[in-house]
Every structure is written in structure tokens, then in C-alpha cells.
């Protein structure tokens, strides 16, 4: 693991702010604040998202999740999960800011509660409203390359496409679309939702994602700290592999000793 | 659209035949499948499934953790009235059940007092209940109670008589989040036998109430059957089908199920189909496997040790410190008639500690004033 003070050569920059870790952590599913603390100790994530519907912003000391977060180490990224339309999301974000949070918001607009899939239309509308209000907006979206470009053009700080439905632990089911999003993006791409194993995180990073966000996989582990560390290492390894330049995939084999070489000698 | 159409496609005889025909192989297949059909649900509710309760429990546990993590939402009920114009033979509130104890409806000040006491205990999620008393407690009065409660609790739900879509909308506009309404039993003949008076006799108006609530914007819809009135396995099948129907129809609402078991009934009523602990566990597991994303509520009707054991089997919501008397927390104490005796009399803090001891986090707040955009704490410009 990198030292806390040791900024690597390739830091993650979001809205002009530098982060050493490319792993973000969601807090909604942890069995206790201690478990969250252990996971954070293991992975040293800096950006931690907290659902505003869960957080008791008027009583941060009494709120078990908030009390674990050290503002010197973590950026508290409030999320609007549960919001069903743009108005609700904007109201939540404003409440968070009024309660003293920084004007950063992870925009989650999930009108159906079963798969918690994001609503593209309301997300775009909310992003526009929030940007006008001066928020730094990190939107959770379907892996839709056009929507990603639209949001980027509006001025969102990142795009956060899903790998698979939240909590499903299925990995990068949207791989092909995420590849296109990454290829076209001028803002950091954070793969969010569905990453259930460190190998999934590594895969997203190898693809060129700028960061990943994980919750269920850490919350559900038996050893939260070790799983946090495993994800941090996988995220770093994936990033390193991406920067090192992965060899291209080929459909056919390329023999190191050609079988037809004798023809050219003739 | 009505759930009635689906219900008519699955009459009791068909469900019973499907349950009785299930073999252990069918149960194994149902457990192994990723998405389960109504036939799988029947298999999971069968006698054959009793041999596979443990693998069912493991799968229910896995699915619940995947969808909900290891958290349990906490809520508490306030009975705002024990006046009731219905005559449900199994209920202690029914006039003809012989109860002469005090009947009352809380005044606004009394409702406020109850809210203050419960909010001070840490609750942020409240369920308001009344009997079937449209005259004594009209919808406007329930809406007023919702407004008052919403000043103290981000999340307010109701469990009252069936309302019209406009009445539900009125309450959603005042900050209502959820509506719970138990069908009691989906078996029409039994329903008619136990409901002898009042609007509640209208089976279809009750069956479709949650559709109306969903259309009016309620975010949580709670279904359930009062287990013991009819064959509980068949009622559990219909309940799960109802929940699935609501998930599709009211696609923006979160649907949850409950397993209220008849335990204490008035003298004139003896429970026709007793539901054992094993039955209850099987019904809960089968429902979880059929509906991985549905909430499951366990109330204080169940005894503490049994209730605690249910936590890892799929429960996502629990009440604590409940009183079923109007004014039972602060205003009237033991003075008024209760609907039924609660079995889990532990304090909210004790229940929270028990939840923690099973490796889960009690979640007090899961809804924010920001959603509703009506009165509450926290002002924004
Ligand atoms: S079950 Fe409800 S409607 Fe029926 S008598 Fe009791 S309180 Fe009244």
C-alpha cells in the first residue's frame, strides 16, 4: 500500500481535487460502524459515500456512520439514493449543504426500488439543476455512452456507470458499454455498483476506469479489513496494468515459432 | 387492473394441488434456480420442503445480505384510536368481542405527546394505526395525525382502513411514506365468515387498496395475511403473489411482506389453523426466495428469542417497544383497550442490542424530510 502522504505519480483528480486512492466506498450495507471502520482501515479509501436518507446530519456525532468518518482523511460524499425525481434529489442535496456538508453530491436517482436502476432523464435534469446551484456533481448512471457525454457536457465532475445492478456482485456485466464510455470521456469514469470481488475491480481498472466504488462486497465480508485491503490492491493492480499497457487480445493464436516460416526461406 | 385477476387464476384448489404434488426434487430445483416461478413457490411451501429448510435458510440469508446488507430498519407503532365500527371475529377491538374497556381517539395534543416520547427513544420511523372507524376518525383526521407525526419522524406510514386514491394522495401530500394493509385472508369465503360488519366486509375494496395507495404516490406498500384464519401456506402463496403483482404495478414503490400470526384472540374466537414456529419459518423462507427484493417485517407479536432467530432468515424491518393501546406510551398508560398483547416487551435499546449481537446494524433513519418536501426539520432556500 502507498503511504498516506505519498501522492503517486498518477493521482485521481476530480473537480480539481487530488485523491491518492482510486477506490471509493459506499456505507449503506455495513453491519456496524466498527465494520465500516475496519474496511476503511483496510483500503484507505478517501471518498466515502453516505446516503442522505440514512444520515442524521443534524446530529453527526450521534450518527454511527458519520462518527466513523474523519474529515481529514475522508471526503464525505452525500448521495441522494432513494430520490425518485430531480426535485427530490436537489432538495436532499441542498439539505446536506445547509447542514454543513461540502457541495459535492453523488447524484443517485433510482425510481424503482428493486434493482435501483438510475433514471437517465431525471438524472440529467437534476444534474443541470444542481450544477446551476454550484454543486460538484458525480452522477450514477446506466452504462450509456450518450448519457455520459451529455452529462459531461453539462459539467458533471465524473460519470459513474454501473457494472451491474447495485448489490448484485455480478461484476462488469456492462463491460462493452463501459469501454466506450471510457474511450470517449473527458472526465473521470468511476465504475459503480455490481463489483462483488477484487477481480471485478481490477477488471474495471484494467479497462481504463479512473476509479471504482464498492459497498456490498466489503460490508458482506467476514473480515472487512482484509477485504478492504484486497480491493485496494486489486484497484491499484488494475490501474498499474492499464498504465503499463496490456497486450491486445486476439481471437486467433499467434505462434511464437511460425509454422509457415520455411516458405520465405525457400 | 386488479390483483383479483391473478388471484382467480390461482384458486385455493389449484394452489393446494400444486403444493401437495411437490417432491423433494422440485424443492431442490426451486432452491437452485436464480428466479423462481409460482410453481417453485408452491414447492417451497410444501411438506416436502420441510426436509430442505436448512438449505432454504442458507439461500434466504444469502439473498437478503446481497440485497439489503446486514441492516435492520427500526419502527414503532402508534395506535391513534381504538374505536372500531367493524366486527372482525378474531379481534379484541371489535365491539362484539365483549371488551368494555375504554375506547378513545387521541387528540392532536395527545398524538403529539406520544410522538415526542417515541422520538426521544431514537425512533425516526413511525406507523400510525386506527380501527375501521371512518366516522369516528375520518381520513382528514388521519391526515392531520400524519402531519403532526411528520414533524417528529422523517418516515410516517399508516395502517388504517382502506381509503380512496384521493384520500391516500391527501396523506402523501402531508408527508406519508408508506401504507400497510393486511388482507387478513385472501380466501373470500373465509374472509366473509370472519368480517361481519362495516366497510371491511367489502373484499374487493380492500384487495385493491394498495394499488390505490401506490398510484397516489406511497413509497412503501406492506402486504400480509393474518396467519391462522385459513390455510397459512395457501395464504402465504397469495400474499407473495400479491407482493409480486404490486412490484410490477406500483413499480416505484418498495413492497414488503409481514407474517402476523394470530396468537391472542377474544373468547368467542378459536384459531382455526394454528401456525407453528416451523410453519412461520417456512413461509418466510419461501417468500424470501420468491421475492429477493421485498422487505420482510416482524412485529412484536412474536416472542423475543424466536424473533431474534428470525433476523438472519430474511427480516429487514422490526418494531420495538410497542404498545397497542392508544396513548399507551405517554398519555393514558394502561388505561385503554389494547388490540392484542405484544410478546416482545423489550425496550427499543434492548431490541437494538439483540440485533447487534446477531451481527446486524439497527437502522433508525432510512428516509429524509427532503423527499417529501413538506413540514419537517431542516430548512432550505
Ligand atoms: S381487525 Fe381492525 S377492523 Fe377488525 S375489529 Fe379489529 S380493529 Fe376493527
Average pLDDT over residues B94-116: 84
CA dist B206 and B220 (Å) reads: 17
In angstroms, what separates the C-alpha of B364 from chain A's closest C-alpha?
A: 8
**Ligand 1 atom with least separation from CA of B184:** 1
Average pLDDT over residues A159-168: 89
User: What are the residues whose beta carbons fall under 8 Å from the beta carbon of A264, sequence distance 6 or more?
Assistant: none
Interchain CB distance below 8 Å, B359 and A31: yes
Give the Cβ contact number of residue B17 at 10 Å: 11
Average pLDDT over residues B249-257: 95
Q: Which residue has the cell 414503532?
A: B76
A83 touching B (Cβ < 8 Å): yes
* DSSP state string for B83-124: -----BTT-TTSGGGT--SB--B--HHHHHHHHHHHHHTT--
In 3D space, the residue among B233, B225, B224 whose CA is nearest the CA of residue B279 turns out to be B233
Collect all residues of chain A within an 8 Å Cβ-Cβ radius of residue B368.
52-53, 82, 92, 95
Whether B118 is in the pocket of ligand 1, judged by its Cβ within 6 Å, is no
In 3D space, the residue among B258, B371, B262 whose CA is nearest the CA of residue B316 turns out to be B258
In 3D space, the residue among A161, A233, A160 whose CA is nearest the CA of residue A197 turns out to be A233
A87 touching B (Cβ < 8 Å): yes
Ligand 1 center to residue B198 CA distance, Å?
10
pTM of whole model > 0.90? no
**What is the reported pLDDT for A236?**
93
Do B266 and B97 contact (CB within 8 A), yes or no? Answer: yes
CA dist B256 and B243 (Å) reads: 7
The dihedral sign for the CA sequence B36, B37, B41, B47: negative
Give the Cβ contact number of residue B343 at 10 Å: 16
Q: What is the grid cell recorded at B158?
A: 399508516
* ipTM over cut 0.90: no
**What is the reported pLDDT for A1?**
46
Whether B329 is in the pocket of ligand 1, judged by its Cβ within 6 Å, is no
**What is the reported pLDDT for B370?**
77
With 0-12 / 13-18 / 19 or more C-beta atoms within 10 angstroms meaning exposed / middle / buried, residue A18 is: exposed
Q: What confidence tens digit (pLDDT) does each residue in A195-233 have?
A: 999 999 999 999 999 999 999 899 888 899 999 999 999
Distances (CA, A) of A69 to A74, A75, A92: 6, 8, 20
Q: What is the grid cell recorded at B103?
A: 375506547
**What is the reported pLDDT for A72?**
82
CA dist A171 and A148 (Å) reads: 20
A77 touching B (Cβ < 8 Å): no
Distances (CA, A) of B262 to A23, B7, B272, B375: 50, 23, 10, 37
Average pLDDT over residues A69-78: 85
Whether B298 is in the pocket of ligand 1, judged by its Cβ within 6 Å, is no
Task: Report whether pLDDT(B97) > 80.
Answer: no
Angle between helices A224-244 and A198-206 (to 10 degrees): 20
With 0-12 / 13-18 / 19 or more C-beta atoms within 10 angstroms meaning exposed / middle / buried, residue A176 is: exposed
The band of B156, judged by pLDDT with boundaries at 50, 70 and 90, is very high
| 3-state DSSP assignment of residue B18 | helix
Catalytically annotated residue among A94, A106, A149, A265: A106
Distances (CA, A) of A178 to A81, A170, A185, A259, B171: 22, 15, 10, 38, 42
Do A32 and B356 contact (CB within 8 A), yes or no? Answer: yes
B168-207 burial by CB neighbour count: b if 16+ within 10 A, else e?
A: bbbbbbbbbbbbbbbbbbbbeebbeebbeebebbebeebb
Q: B80 phi and psi, to 5 degrees?
A: -85, -10
Counted residue by residue, chain B has a size of: 381
Collect all residues of chain A within an 8 Å Cβ-Cβ radius of residue B219.
84, 113
* More confident: B150 or A168: B150
**What is the reported pLDDT for B220?**
96
Whether B88 is in the pocket of ligand 1, judged by its Cβ within 6 Å, is yes
**DSSP for residue A130:** H
Task: Report whether pLDDT(B324) > 90.
Answer: no
**Strand (E) positions, chain A?**
12-14, 17-19, 23-26, 47-51, 75-79, 104-107, 136-141, 160-161, 190-192, 211-214
H-state helical runs in B217-266: 232-249
* DSSP state string for B115-138: HHHHHHTT--EEEEE--S-TTTS-
Lowest mean pLDDT among A138-142, A239-243, B266-270, B346-350: B266-270
The band of B381, judged by pLDDT with boundaries at 50, 70 and 90, is very low
CA dist B169 and B143 (Å) reads: 10
Collect all residues of chain B within an 8 Å Cβ-Cβ radius of residue A29.
68-71
In angstroms, what separates the C-alpha of B277 from chain A's closest C-alpha?
A: 26
Distances (CA, A) of B228 to A133, B15, B135, B273: 56, 17, 30, 5
In 3D space, the residue among B67, B42, B3 whose CA is nearest the CA of residue B295 turns out to be B67
Whether B160 is in the pocket of ligand 1, judged by its Cβ within 6 Å, is no
**Strand B295-298 with B254-258, pairing:** parallel
H-state helical runs in A69-119: 86-98
Hey, whose CA ends up nearest to atom 3 of ligand 1?
A: B132
A112, A196, A217: which to substitute to probe chain B, counting the most B Cβ within 10 Å?
A: A112
A99 touching B (Cβ < 8 Å): yes
The band of B162, judged by pLDDT with boundaries at 50, 70 and 90, is very high
**What is the reported pLDDT for A255?**
66
The band of A266, judged by pLDDT with boundaries at 50, 70 and 90, is low
The order of strands in the sheet holding A190-192 is A160-161, A136-141, A104-107, A75-79, A47-51, A23-26, A211-214, A190-192
CA dist B164 and A166 (Å) reads: 35
B361, B363, B377, B379: which to substitute to probe chain A, counting the most A Cβ within 10 Å?
A: B361
With 0-12 / 13-18 / 19 or more C-beta atoms within 10 angstroms meaning exposed / middle / buried, residue A100 is: exposed
Question: Which contacts qualify for B211-214: CB closer than 8 Å, 24 or more apart?
Answer: B211/B1, B211/B2, B211/B3, B211/B246, B211/B249, B211/B250, B212/B163, B212/B164, B212/B165, B212/B168, B213/B163, B213/B165, B213/B168, B213/B179, B213/B181, B213/B250, B214/B246, B214/B249, B214/B250, B214/B252, B214/B253
Whether B266 is in the pocket of ligand 1, judged by its Cβ within 6 Å, is no
Do B316 and B73 contact (CB within 8 A), yes or no? Answer: yes
**What is the reported pLDDT for B376?**
44
Q: Is A24 left (phi over 0), alpha (psi -120 to 50) or beta?
A: beta
Q: Which residue has the cell 456505507?
A: A27
Catalytic, A106? Answer: yes
Ligand 1 center to residue B310 CA distance, Å?
27
The band of A62, judged by pLDDT with boundaries at 50, 70 and 90, is low
Amino acid at each position: 500500500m502507498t503511504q498516506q502522504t505519498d501522492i503517486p505519480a498518477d493521482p485521481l483528480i476530480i473537480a480539481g481535487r487530488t485523491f491518492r486512492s482510486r477506490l471509493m466506498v459506499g456505507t449503506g450495507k455495513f453491519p456496524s460502524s466498527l465494520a465500516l471502520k475496519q474496511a476503511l482501515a483496510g483500503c484507505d479509501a478517501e471518498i466515502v459515500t453516505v446516503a442522505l436518507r440514512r444520515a442524521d446530519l443534524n446530529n453527526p456525532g450521534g450518527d454511527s456512520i458519520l462518527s466513523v468518518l474523519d474529515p481529514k482523511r475522508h471526503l464525505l460524499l452525500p448521495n441522494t439514493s432513494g430520490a425518485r425525481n430531480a426535485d427530490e434529489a436537489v432538495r436532499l442535496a441542498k439539505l446536506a449543504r445547509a447542514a454543513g456538508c461540502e457541495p459535492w453530491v453523488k447524484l443517485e436517482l433510482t425510481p424503482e426500488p428493486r434493482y435501483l436502476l438510475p433514471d437517465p432523464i431525471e438524472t440529467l435534469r437534476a444534474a443541470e439543476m444542481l450544477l446551476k446551484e454550484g454543486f460538484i456533481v458525480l452522477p450514477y448512471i446506466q452504462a450509456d455512452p450518450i448519457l455520459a457525454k451529455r452529462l459531461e457536457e453539462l459539467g458533471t465532475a465524473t460519470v459513474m456507470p454501473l457494472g451491474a445492478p447495485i448489490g448484485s456482485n455480478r461484476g462488469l456485466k456492462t463491460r462493452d458499454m463501459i469501454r466506450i464510455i471510457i474511450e470517449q470521456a473527458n472526465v473521470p469514469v468511476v465504475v459503480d455498483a455490481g463489483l462483488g470481488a477484487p477481480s471485478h475491480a481490477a477488471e474495471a481498472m484494467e479497462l481504463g476506469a479512473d476509479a471504482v466504488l464498492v459497498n456490498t462486497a466489503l460490508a458482506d465480508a467476514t473480515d472487512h479489513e482484509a477485504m478492504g485491503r484486497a480491493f485496494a490492491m486489486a484497484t491499484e493492480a488494475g490501474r498499474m496494468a492499464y498504465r503499463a499497457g496490456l497486450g491486445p487480445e486476439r481471437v486467433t493464436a499467434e505462434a511464437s515459432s511460425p509454422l509457415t516460416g520455411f516458405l520465405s526461406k525457400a | 387492473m386488479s390483483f383479483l385477476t391473478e388471484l382467480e387464476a390461482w384458486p385455493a384448489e389449484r394452489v393446494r394441488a400444486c403444493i401437495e404434488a411437490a417432491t423433494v426434487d422440485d424443492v431442490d430445483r426451486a432452491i437452485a434456480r436464480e428466479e423462481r416461478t409460482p410453481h417453485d413457490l408452491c414447492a417451497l411451501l410444501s411438506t416436502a420442503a420441510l426436509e430442505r429448510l436448512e438449505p432454504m435458510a442458507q439461500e434466504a440469508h444469502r439473498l437478503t445480505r446481497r440485497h439489503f446488507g446486514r441492516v435492520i430498519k427500526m419502527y414503532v407503532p402508534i395506535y391513534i384510536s381504538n374505536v372500531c365500527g367493524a366486527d372482525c371475529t378474531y379481534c379484541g377491538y371489535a365491539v362484539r368481542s365483549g371488551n368494555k374497556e375504554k375506547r378513545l381517539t387521541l387528540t392532536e395534543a395527545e398524538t403529539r405527546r406520544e410522538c415526542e416520547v417515541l422520538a426521544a427513544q431514537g425512533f425516526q420511523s413511525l406507523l400510525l394505526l386506527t380501527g375501521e372507524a371512518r366516522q369516528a376518525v375520518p381520513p382528514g383526521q388521519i391526515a392531520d395525525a400524519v402531519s403532526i407525526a411528520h414533524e417528529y419522524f422523517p418516515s410516517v406510514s399508516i395502517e388504517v382502513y382502506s381509503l380512496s386514491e384521493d384520500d391516500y394522495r391527501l396523506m402523501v401530500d402531508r408527508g406519508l411514506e408508506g401504507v400497510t394493509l393486511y388482507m387478513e385472508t385472501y380466501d373470500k369465503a373465509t374472509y366473509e365468515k370472519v368480517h361481519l360488519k362495516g366497510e371491511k366486509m367489502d373484499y374487493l375494496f380492500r384487495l385493491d387498496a394498495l394499488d390505490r395507495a401506490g398510484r397516489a404516490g406511497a413509497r412503501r406498500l406492506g402486504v400480509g395475511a393474518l396467519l391462522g384464519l385459513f390455510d397459512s401456506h395457501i395464504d402465504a402463496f397469495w400474499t407473495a403473489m400479491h407482493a409480486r403483482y404490486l412490484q410490477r404495478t406500483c413499480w416505484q414503490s418498495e413492497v414488503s411482506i409481514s407474517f402476523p400470526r394470530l396468537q391472542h384472540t377474544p373468547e368467542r374466537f378459536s384459531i382455526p389453523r394454528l401456525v407453528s414456529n416451523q410453519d412461520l419459518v417456512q413461509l418466510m423462507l419461501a417468500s424470501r426466495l420468491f421475492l429477493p427484493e421485498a422487505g420482510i417485517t416482524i412485529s412484536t407479536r412474536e416472542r423475543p428469542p424466536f424473533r431474534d432467530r428470525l433476523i438472519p432468515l430474511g427480516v429487514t424491518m422490526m418494531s420495538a417497544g410497542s404498545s397497542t393501546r392508544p396513548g399507551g406510551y405517554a398519555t393514558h398508560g394502561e388505561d385503554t383497550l389494547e388490540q392484542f398483547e405484544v410478546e416482545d416487551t423489550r425496550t427499543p435499546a434492548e431490541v437494538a442490542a439483540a440485533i447487534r449481537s446477531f451481527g446486524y446494524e439497527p437502522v433508525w433513519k432510512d428516509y429524509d424530510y427532503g423527499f417529501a418536501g413538506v413540514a419537517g426539520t431542516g430548512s432550505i432556500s
